[in-house]
C-alpha cells in the first residue's frame, strides 16, 4: 500500500467526463485500481442505504456512520457487509488506514460522490463513510451469569438517551441490559452515536415485556431495584454489591406503576431543592457508578 505524503498526489484522481458532469470513475492510488464513482440517487446501492436510513435499522442490518463507529465495529468483530465512502475520506491518514482495513477484510467498498453521501448523512457535515453491518446477537446468559449488574430500560424512547445508557453501563462494568418493549432501538443511528461502540460490546436483549423480565430475574435470585423520583431509599444506602438489576423508565413518566409495585426494592437519588428530576442517562450513570464504587470497595456482601 502506497500512502502519499503531504507533497505527493492526492490519493484519488478523477478521470473527467464532460464539463459540468460528475466524474464516473476514480483512480485510487492506494491500490492502483480505477473504480466507479457513484453519483446517481437512483443507484440500487444508494436506494438501499436510503431505505435503511429512513427506517433507522431493521431486524438484520444497521447503518454505521463515520470512522469511529466503523472502527469500533471492525475491532469488535461485527459483520460489516458493505461500505460506502467519499473520495475525501482518503485525505487523512486515518481515512486511508480505514480504507485499507476494509479492503484487507475483502468487504465490498463503493465510492460515492461527496454530495450524494452527504444526502445520506444524519449529521450536518458528513465524515465521508457509511457502512451496512449485521446486528450483533447476544446470549441472555451473558447478562445473567456471574454476579450480575444489569440495566433494565422500560419505555426509554429517546435513542440518544438509550445510547448514553448503554455507554454508561459498559463504563461502569455492567454485565448487560434488558431493553423492554417500548424502548428505542439500540442500533438506530442516534442510539449508536450515543453509545459510541458500547452497543456492539455490551450484551443486551430487547423487546421483552417488563413483567417477563422481572420473572426471569427473580428465577435467578437477582434483586430488581426500581428507580423512583421520591419515596425510595437513598441510592448510597442501598447494597449494590448483590446480584442486582437497576430499572429505569421513560424520560417523562418514569417506570410503570405495575413494575414499581412488583420490584423487590425502590431507590431514589437525593437532589437539592428545586430540581424535580434527572435526565434518565444521568440517573443511570449515578446509580451504575455507585454500584461500581461499592463493588470495588467491598467485593462481596458480608
pLDDT of residue 33: 55
Cβ–Cβ contacts within 10 Å for residue 80, how many? 19
Grade residue 2 by pLDDT with cuts at 50, 70 and 90.
very low
Whether residue 7 has pLDDT greater than 60: no
Q: Per residue in 126-182, pLDDT tens?
A: 789 999 999 999 999 999 999 999 999 999 999 999 999 999 999 999 999 999 989
DSSP string, 30-78: TTTEEEEEE--TT-HHHHHHHHHHHHSB-SSEEEEESHHHHHHHHHHT-
Whether residue 39 has pLDDT greater than 60: yes
Question: So what's the architecture of 140-297 in CATH?
Answer: 3-Layer(aba) Sandwich (3.40)
Q: How far apart are CA 9 and CA 6, in angstroms?
A: 8
What CA dihedral angle connects 301, 218, 178 and 181, to 10 degrees?
-150
Cα 140-189-228 angle, rounded to 5 deg: 60
Name the average pLDDT for the chain.
Answer: 87
pLDDT of residue 20: 39
pLDDT of residue 276: 78
Q: Per residue in 93-139, pLDDT tens?
A: 999 999 999 999 999 999 999 999 988 887 777 789 999 999 999 99
Closest CA to 89 of 113, 72, 107, 62: 113
Q: Do 74 and 202 contact (CB within 8 A), yes or no?
A: no
Cβ–Cβ contacts within 10 Å for residue 40, how many? 13
pLDDT of residue 160: 94
Grade residue 53 by pLDDT with cuts at 50, 70 and 90.
confident
Grade residue 30 by pLDDT with cuts at 50, 70 and 90.
low
pLDDT of residue 17: 39
pLDDT of residue 69: 95
Q: Per residue in 239-275, pLDDT tens?
A: 999 999 999 998 888 999 999 999 999 999 999 877 8
Sheet holding 233-234, edge to edge: 204-206, 176-179, 149-153, 244-248, 223-227, 265-268, 233-234
Q: Do 122 and 65 contact (CB within 8 A), yes or no?
A: yes
User: Which residues of the chain form CATH 3.30.1330.30?
Assistant: 12-134
What's the mean pLDDT in 293-298?
Answer: 92
For residue 66 the three cell numbers come to 463515520
What residues have CB less than 8 Å from 224, skipping those under 6 apart? Answer: 152, 214, 217, 218, 244, 245, 247, 262, 263, 264, 265
Q: How far apart are CA 63 and CA 85, in angstroms?
A: 13
Asked: is 12-134 a CATH 1.10.760.10 domain? The reply is no
What residues have CB less than 8 Å from 243, skipping those under 6 apart? Answer: 147, 148, 220, 221, 222, 223
28 vs 92: which has the higher pLDDT: 92
Q: How far apart are CA 295 and CA 301, in angstroms?
A: 9
User: Which residues of the chain form CATH 3.40.1280.10?
Assistant: 140-297
pLDDT of residue 9: 38
Amino acid at each position: 500500500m502506497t500512502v502519499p505524503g503531504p507533497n505527493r498526489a492526492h490519493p484519488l484522481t478523477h478521470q473527467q467526463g464532460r464539463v459540468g458532469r460528475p466524474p464516473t470513475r476514480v483512480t485510487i492510488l492506494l491500490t492502483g485500481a480505477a473504480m466507479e464513482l457513484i453519483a446517481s440517487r437512483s443507484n440500487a446501492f444508494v436506494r438501499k442505504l436510503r431505505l435503511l436510513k429512513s427506517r433507522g435499522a431493521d431486524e438484520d442490518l444497521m447503518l454505521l456512520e463515520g470512522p469511529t463507529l466503523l472502527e469500533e465495529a471492525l475491532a469488535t468483530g461485527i459483520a460489516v457487509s458493505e461500505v460506502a465512502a467519499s473520495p475525501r475520506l482518503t485525505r487523512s491518514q486515518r481515512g486511508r488506514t480505514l480504507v485499507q482495513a476494509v479492503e484487507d477484510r475483502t468487504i465490498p467498498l463503493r465510492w460515492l460522490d461527496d454530495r450524494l453521501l452527504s444526502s445520506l448523512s444524519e449529521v450536518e457535515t458528513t465524515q465521508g463513510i457509511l457502512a451496512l453491518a449485521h446486528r450483533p446477537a447476544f446470549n441472555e446468559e451473558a447478562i445473567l451469569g456471574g454476579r450480575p449488574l444489569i440495566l433494565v430500560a422500560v419505555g426509554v424512547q429517546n435513542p440518544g438517551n438509550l445510547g448514553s445508557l448503554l455507554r454508561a453501563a459498559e463504563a461502569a462494568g455492567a454485565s448487560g441490559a434488558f431493553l423492554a418493549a417500548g424502548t428505542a432501538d439500540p442500533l438506530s443511528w442516534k442510539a449508536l452515536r450515543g453509545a459510541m461502540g458500547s452497543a456492539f460490546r455490551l450484551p443486551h436483549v430487547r423487546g421483552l415485556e417488563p413483567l417477563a423480565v422481572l420473572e426471569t430475574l427473580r428465577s435467578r435470585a437477582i434483586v430488581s431495584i426500581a428507580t423512583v423520583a421520591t419515596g425510595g431509599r437513598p441510592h448510597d444506602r442501598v447494597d449494590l454489591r448483590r446480584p442486582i438489576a437497576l430499572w429505569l423508565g421513560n424520560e417523562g413518566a418514569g417506570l410503570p406503576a405495575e413494575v414499581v409495585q412488583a420490584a423487590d426494592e425502590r431507590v431514589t437519588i437525593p437532589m437539592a431543592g428545586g430540581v424535580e428530576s434527572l435526565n434518565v442517562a444521568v440517573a443511570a450513570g449515578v446509580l451504575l457508578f455507585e454500584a461500581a464504587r461499592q463493588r470495588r470497595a467491598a467485593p462481596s456482601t458480608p
